[in-house]
Structure 1
Amino acid sequence: MARTAEDYAGAIRALLPRGRIWQAEAGSGQQRLILALAQEWARLDAAATTVLDQSLPGRNLDLITEWEESLGLPDPCAGENATLDQRTAQILTRFVGASGQSQAFFIAYAAALGFDISISVISPFRVEISTVESPLYDEDWLFVWVVTVVSNTGGLSTDVLGCEFNALKPAHTYVLIQ
């Protein structure tokens, strides 16, 4: 949060020594100098906040092309016709979510793209472990996980999510999107 000129003027006044000479009235040369300094510091504070905000991936629209080139975007998942919001979401997701293999990673990655998902891992039927209600999956299903899309607020299709997950998933697994 950027501080105002009055915030800085108050801080300067609080740091002044005590005594008759330092008790300047409003409108005096000393108070005008304090206000001028405070206004400049407030301007610098706002500029620094803007620079920090613009340095985040996808925030500075002037640099969106450079971020995409650096991160290998646009990728075949979203295609060439993604909206500006979708492009910035992909940049941020690609930058922050570099890698991981846990369910939590994939759920967070999907959330950054605007998807609320759940993940189910399928396991084959095991004698004395599985119940009568358990589906009869064989060993071929051992490395399959099912992604259920609960909601989609990002505007990307589930094909994009599937493409992204297939690029990030462990090589020996299969992802089914529903």
Structure 2
Amino acid sequence: MGLTAADYLELCQNLTPYGPAWPREPEAFVTRLLDGWAQEFARIEARIDALIEEADPRTTIELLADWERNYGLPDECYPEAATIAERRGRLLQKIAFEGGQSKQFFIDFVAALGYPGATITEYKPFKANSKCNAALNQGGWRYAWLISVPASSTAVRFKANSRANEPLTRFGDPGLACILAKYRPAHTILYIGYGA
């Protein structure tokens, strides 16, 4: 807890000379002048204490927009978060994100996005030294990979209050496709399968 205005007033009065020209009574002009300064010093100290909270992304409120701007939020892949807590959560995820290119990284990454149980299949082209039962496919599959996410987490089913032109079942998540396309290795071709 910082100093109060009364504490600052006492400090200011202790810096003035002693004598009848420097009265310390509450109604004296010099005391009222020093009290104005003391109020401002206390206000400035309170603002400094508040800025310490703003330096931490877990507690920021006033500087949250600046934190988000510095980390590229809101992301083009997902809509803007509605609450301060959601915005802080996305900010903390972005700060903690280290990246990677391994299978396990992408499995953990999509699990953190709400798709647990995903699997990854990497395709390899058929070569002269491939096994006899290996699948025949084109050379372009060398850089292709498939991430399969459970259908239960991505299926949107037709309901009684749905519009007549909506499909009976719709799969996919444009936000997931966007963010995976953003973080996939640049030389690869990514496919997403729903219903693993």
The TM-score normalised by the length of structure 2 is 0.50
Aligned to 2:72: 72
**Displacement, 1:98?**
2.7
- Can you list the C-alpha shifts for 1:40-91, whole angstroms capped at 9, x where unaligned? xxxxxxxxxxx99x94x5x4472543332221011211134x4447645533
2:134 aligned with 1:119: no
Closer/same/farther in 2, CA of residues 160 and 88 from structure 1, 3 Å limit: farther
**Displacement, 1:113?**
1.5
Q: What SS does structure 2 have at the residue aligned with 1:69?
A: helix
Aligned to 2:106: 106
In the alignment, the residues of structure 2 paired with residue 113 and residue 106 of structure 1 have an alpha-carbon distance, to the nearest angstrom, of 10
Unaligned runs of 5+ in 1: 1-50
> Conserved in 2, the CA contact under 8 Å of 1:124 and 1:142?
yes
2:171 aligned with 1:170: no
Give the alignment's Cα RMSD to 1 decimal.
3.0
Which amino acid in 2 is paired with 1:166?
Answer: A
- Can you list the C-alpha shifts for 1:109-135, whole angstroms capped at 9, x where unaligned? 222221222111111123342342x43
Which amino acid in 2 is paired with 1:102?
Answer: S
Aligned to 2:173: 158
Aligned length: 120
**Displacement, 1:144?**
0.8
Closer/same/farther in 2, CA of residues 135 and 124 from structure 1, 3 Å limit: same
What are the within-5 Å matches in structure 2 for residues 3-152 of structure 1? 55=56, 57=57, 59-60=58-59, 62=61, 64-80=64-80, 82-84=81-83, 87-116=87-116, 117-132=118-133, 134-150=134-150, 152=153
Closer/same/farther in 2, CA of residues 78 and 130 from structure 1, 3 Å limit: farther
> Conserved in 2, the CA contact under 8 Å of 1:122 and 1:145?
yes
Q: Which has the larger radius of gyration?
A: 2
Which amino acid in 2 is paired with 1:93?
Answer: Q
Q: What SS does structure 2 have at the residue aligned with 1:77?
A: coil
Q: What is the percentage of aligned positions where both structures have the same residue?
A: 33
The TM-score normalised by the length of structure 1 is 0.55
